[in-house]
Structure 1
């Protein structure tokens, strides 16, 4: 969806961004609940996009209502995350076992089959949550909000507002980068900030594609690069930790544990490889942010 004018007003751009994000959340929920391929992932992405749009344009919206919606969809995103994280672990484990050349049913049982059973239970719980009164209230609140959002400076042209919003998102990422201390928590903070910057930039690009087109595209690309590098690193580290735990349980059960050590070492090498992509991604961010000054 695009706004109708070449230079939209603040209200036109924000309303379009909100309605598009909300519509995508509703459109992707049925596939997630039906457990269609990639369904949970796509719903989780759309929920994150919605929360990013709410946060990015939050200073121009009703603070109380925005916070209420962000909390509600943070909860739902967390519920989706439980299921999606298991799904990712299964995919990562299958690939890692194959690449490590491990052919042991006991390893597959601990790293793959047990996770698949956990996934079935977690998805069933997700469906229960989605059918609750709280979920229905969440949907109602979102529909009411996007139908008539209270927007400040709504009649002003959106050009200046877009620059302010984008600079704020880039500044948020840079602050998170400044707090990097090699801890997983600090890497995760950068990843979240980069993801929000990307989603806000993409929302602007869809609503007003002619506005700051190059800068918006560059910021979205920088956010994507940071998110991919740090997301891959996080997945590899979490998988390595789960393999280490599985190795302990296998040893206690009297099973050979050598294969787990190989798989864990492989995962940790890959985690380090993702971090080597970080300087390039940070360079993209600096170049994109400087173009907005």
Structure 2
């Protein structure tokens, strides 16, 4: 069930020790209650909603617990929509009616695709003393809320008063009288238009100007921005993943890798009791995504190689057999992905991802400047790459199975370094971006090597299938032989790229 009403309220600033203003002669006070509330506000990455005077939140605790959307009206007031909050897996999902209303309110400004993903941008913890305000007849005409607020993730704290007319109350003239009475006692309207506006500070203005993070920003702010991007890359592609839209699986899988890597590389700034179980669940999703992605890569590579052979080297209908086998393999993997995304485990995972952004488990030096904390953690990750390289080069056969397995480990660790520098680049600038570029070269070459190794193994399986089906496997052997030459070339290029990346 959902409902709507016109919001009629005023907010006033109050210092922590200041006395409540007196309304004697205007209104009488009635019942008082204390509520402890947690409100998670959602917005796009560039804070599009708040910049258009739209707010969307999920509030836990208090008499109006549930989902709230506040939409601007032509007369300057705001329409408030309310919907009940669900429990269990999927509880963080915005109600469809609220989502449609927000999109309609923004009109042409509403983005599409991943850019439209709504993620937690602030969490307000409020201790509210709520008092009924009565008219001479004893009817409740308004509520007075004395709020003490803590805003996360910046940990801003303040106190404010909020006076809101009940829906059936008299007109807004009563609010004018309350404001005059408060002003006479030194209690003035708040400078901030809303709690969310105060929590976000200058972030909306910076977003509107397209300003990036700065090196002097807290490490937590830099990481929160990066984690938000990766979570959006996962939950913002659900429809495309189900439809098997081009490149959707690949991009979502990369987002899972980047997310897990960031939680690992920067784990000294996070409570691992929270993030380690989350990394495990993201790994489960990565596995679901990996199967159709790997099948897609092998299919495209094998078919591309077979179709690129000179006609005289294509013996029998080997292309048709390979296409049928590999297409069926991809279809089965995609079906398993969709099935997994339809279950409670996936819903619970997306809840956990959004909870991570709403209340990040920071610890240690997360509040220190980004340039003082983060580069050293990336260098530690680079040290793990160097150790893996030394183990690889200790093998007698640089292209043998053991060396190739160690190069795969090197590739994974190099990806962690690349992703980390990419996370830091918006704040730390060109030097971090150049480091990311060097490590990207490493991961691209070693990634191509891994694709060749996986495809070569699949070629051998296809050869056995072809022989069983009575289709000559000669062409598959030709491609496998060419790939063996490619492995030697890629291992040499990978070694050179790693050496360049590890240079001071």
2:405 equivalent to 1:196: no
Query: Which 10-residue stretch deviates more, 132-141 or 224-233?
Result: 224-233
1:74 to 269, 283, 291: 283
TM-score by length of 1: 0.90
Return the offset for 1:202.
0.5
2:473 to 257, 273, 291: 257
1:57 is matched with: 266
Residues 17-96 of structure 1: pairs in structure 2 closer than 5 A: 17-96=226-305
Higher relative contact order (CA 8 A, sep 6+): 1
Kept in 2, the 8 Å contact 1:13–1:158? The answer is yes
Residues 23-172 of structure 1: pairs in structure 2 closer than 5 A: 23-101=232-310, 102-104=313-315, 106-152=317-363, 153-172=365-384
Return the offset for 1:267.
1.8
Kept in 2, the 8 Å contact 1:229–1:278? The answer is yes
Residues 271-286 of structure 1: pairs in structure 2 closer than 5 A: 271-286=487-502
Query: Which 10-residue stretch deviates more, 42-51 or 107-116?
Result: 107-116
2:395 equivalent to 1:179: no
Query: Which 10-residue stretch deviates more, 72-81 or 29-38?
Result: 29-38
Higher helix share: 1
Kept in 2, the 8 Å contact 1:3–1:13? The answer is no
- Which is higher, the Rg of structure 1 or of structure 2? 2
Return the offset for 1:103.
4.0
Are the structure 2 counterparts of residues 92 and 5 from structure 1 closer, same or farther at C-alpha, using a change threshold of 3 Å? closer
Kept in 2, the 8 Å contact 1:169–1:193? The answer is yes
Return the offset for 1:209.
4.1
**Runs of 5+ unmatched residues, structure 1:** none
TM-score by length of 2: 0.54
Paired residue total:
284
2:225 is matched with: 16
2:437 equivalent to 1:221: yes
Are the structure 2 counterparts of residues 174 and 4 from structure 1 closer, same or farther at C-alpha, using a change threshold of 3 Å? closer
Return the offset for 1:167.
0.8
Give the Cα–Cα distance (whole angstroms) in 2 for the partners of residues 105 and 40 of structure 1: 33
Q: Please list the CA deviations of residues 45-92 of structure 1 after superposition, one character each: whole Å capped at 9, or x if unmatched.
A: 111111111112111101111101110001110111111011001100
Kept in 2, the 8 Å contact 1:233–1:271? The answer is yes
What is the Cα-based RMSD across aligned positions, in Å? 1.9
**Runs of 5+ unmatched residues, structure 2:** 1-44, 46-210
